[in-house]
Amino acid sequence: MKLLLLPNTDKPHVFSCIARLTATRFSQPVEFLMEERLSGRCAGCSNLRFGLLEELMKECDVCVAVGGDGTIIHGGKIAACHNRPVLGINLGHLGFLATLESDQLEKIERLLTGEYTTEKRMMLRVTLETPSGSRSWQAMNDAVLSKGGPLNRMIGMSVENRMRMVGSYRADGLIFSTPTGSTAYAMSAGGPIIDPAINCISMTPLSPHSLFTRPIVFDDESKLGVCLLEVDAKAYLTIDGEESVPVWPRDRLHIEKSEIAVTLINLTGKSFYDVLNEKLIWRSRK
């Protein structure tokens, strides 16, 4: 089996974790792959072959994201484009998407023996239309449209679904999230926690002007259109917390279910609700 390692190089112990992983003895042959640009940082690692990411992605059986949830999201989107599953090893804090902690590397043996399950996680296709053209992204967690002007000024936004008016909003912004992203930024803004087995799009207003403005959950066939209402408004579109681009009143944002999905590998057998209790509820009580 060929495992492509996708490390978060900003994590202080990521390469020591990789060294332990590549030195682990398994019942079947395992070859570890990694991007050529990281070869100089893996002096203490054995059983590693380096190459170009695009070529290694085609060759590998599984992508192993080593870091936190952000690492899994970034790697998951790349893997989804090549129809490869993703296994997450947590070096972060909550690690809501990771199936293993860094002290559980021996459980990767289950990957070789087939003792694991997989689950599909829907993504969003986000397209920004501007007078000069259009640009599209894939979002595994969320797409956030937020204010870019003075701190004390809200922005007005209009939302449509399938060309029918949903409503107008005055708020600091709107979060459009997948079920996976419902436990991220959207949850901290008061959005619902959604079982990832349900395909839908959640819209959560950020600090809305009206107390009666509440989140809305749309079905997965929805085609949402969003635009700014004030002629002098400015906002920013942020995809999965990774990339941010300016949005102007003449622009139009389109959000819908993506045609591709991320496949996550679960080696522990824990359900979504097991993880929810362990990562969020138990820790809050502690």
Q: What's the distance, Cα to Cα, between the start and end of the chain in Å?
A: 40
Q: Which amino acid is at 149?
A: G
Q: Which residue has the tokens 């050529």?
A: 36
Question: Tokens at residue 52, please?
Answer: 């170009």
Are 131 and 250 contained in the same domain? yes
- What global pTM score does this model have? 0.92
Question: 146: helix, coil or strand?
Answer: strand
* The one catalytic residue among 69, 172, 240, 251: 69
- Separate counts of helices (H) and strands (E) for the chain: 7, 18
Identify the CA nearest to 188 among candidates 170, 209, 215: 215
Q: Which helix (H) or strand (E) holds 228?
A: strand 223-228
User: Quick one: how far is CA 19 from the chain centroid?
Assistant: 26
Q: Is residue 69 among the annotated active site residues? A: yes
| 134 lies in the same domain as 231 | yes
Q: Please name the residues in contact with 59: beta carbons below 8 A apart, sequence gap of 6 or more.
A: 2, 4, 33, 51
Q: Which of 73, 77, 79 is nearest to 4 (CA)?
A: 79
Q: Say if residue 213 is in the same domain as residue 153.
A: yes
Based on the fold, state whether residues 89 and 203 are members of the same structural domain: no
Determine the Cα–Cα distance for residues 73 and 124; give it in Å rounded to an integer: 13
Q: What is the pLDDT of residues 176-191, one digit of tens each?
A: 999 999 999 999 999 9
The tens digit of pLDDT for each residue in 133-186 reads 999 999 999 999 999 876 668 999 999 999 999 999 999 999 999 999 999 999
Q: Same structural domain for residues 190 and 77?
A: no
- Check which CATH number belongs to the domain holding 205 and give it: 2.60.200.30
Residue where the block lists tokens 């959604």: 194
Look at residue 281 and tell me whether its pLDDT is greater than 90: no
Please check whether residues 161 and 201 belong to one and the same domain. yes
**128 and 250 inside one domain:** yes
Verify that 189 and 251 share a domain, yes or no: yes
148 and 39 part of one domain: no
**Exposed, middle or buried: residue 54 (CB in 10 Å: 0-12, 13-18, 19+)?**
exposed
CB atoms within 10 A of CB 27: 8
CATH number at residue 74: 3.40.50.10330
Structural domain range at position 180: 123-259
pLDDT above 80 for 283: no
Clarify whether residues 165 and 215 are in a common domain: yes
Amino acid (one-letter) located at 188: S
User: What pLDDT was estimated at residue 220?
Assistant: 97
- Six-digit token string for 219: 């079905």
Structurally, the chain folds into a number of domains equal to 2
Instruction: Please give the Cα distance from 238 to 171 (Å, whole number).
Output: 16
* pLDDT of amino acid 31: 95
What would the pLDDT profile of 18-71 be if each residue is shown by its tens digit?
999 999 999 999 999 999 999 888 877 778 999 999 999 999 999 999 998 999
Which of residues 75 and 99 earns the better pLDDT score? 75
Are residues 92 and 155 located together in one domain of the fold?
A: no
| Greatest distance between any 2 Cα atoms in the chain | 64
Same domain, 49 and 140: no
User: How much of the chain, in percent, has pLDDT values that exceed 70?
Assistant: 96
Residues in the chain: 286
